[in-house]
Amino acid sequence: MAFKIQAKSLAFLTLMAMGTPQIAQADEKSGLFIGLGYQQGKGGGGEYKKALSSGFPLYGLDAQVGGIGFVNKWFGGQVYGFFDWNNSGFFDNWRIWEQFGKSGGGKWDVYTYGGAADMIVNLIATDTLALGLVGGVQLAGNTWSYNNFSHSGFQFLFNAGGRVRLTEHVAFQAGIKFPMIPQKITAKIKDIRRYVWYVNLNYIF
């Protein structure tokens, strides 16, 4: 009886030992990536002196192109260019593409575009799945357009979220951005995207 128990224990430990190297050798893929996503947030005046829930809703899309690299399976980073488009009346008119670049009929268009760098820390890393945290900074231009009026300025954003890689090439990233610089639209009006949360699908080459 004792021999059978020892044999089973030895077999179990052998299987564990055979599987461990495969997990330990699982590395993230480094290379170029492109991403597309959906965004939703709030915009308005008052900087961060008012509640984040105040202001008008913003909905939109985003795109990224850049590179991602890892020093090992746990730590890595990504550097990329990005473009965010948010509109305060995204759901008011389903034929939005016919109006893109034209008068918004009283709706804000907010464009944010620039470069960013994020650090990636994986909590789980295997060949088929990686789960981790993402955080970084974004330096950007910020354009607010309302009917025939347009204002552009510099913007600095913090980005924080999570990342899930499924298979070698596909990763989902979700998080929240906090723009830090209110835009002086006019002498009396300062507006800012208070926050925007996003869900992105990235493909790694």
Split the chain (205 residues) into runs of 10 and give each run's mean pLDDT: 45 40 56 96 73 80 96 94 87 46 65 97 91 97 85 93 94 95 76 89 96
Rg from Cα positions in the chain: 23
60, 200 Cβ separation under 8 angstroms: no
The pLDDT assigned to 75 comes to: 95
Give the H or E element holding residue 122. strand 108-125
Residue 20 phi, psi (nearest 5): -60, -45
194, 55 Cβ separation under 8 angstroms: yes
Q: What domains lie within the chain, and their CATH numbers?
A: 29-204 (2.40.160.20)
DSSP code per residue over 51-107: -TT-SEEEEEEEEEEEEEEESSSSEEEEEEEEEEEEETTTTT-S-HHHHTTS--SS-
At 141, the amino acid letter reads G
Taking residue 37's Cβ as centre, other Cβ atoms within 10 Å add up to: 19
Quote the CA–CA distance of 141 and 153 in Å, as a whole number: 6
The pLDDT assigned to 9 comes to: 47
The pLDDT assigned to 3 comes to: 40
Quote the CA–CA distance of 189 and 45 in Å, as a whole number: 7
The pLDDT assigned to 104 comes to: 44
The pLDDT assigned to 20 comes to: 37
The pLDDT assigned to 13 comes to: 37
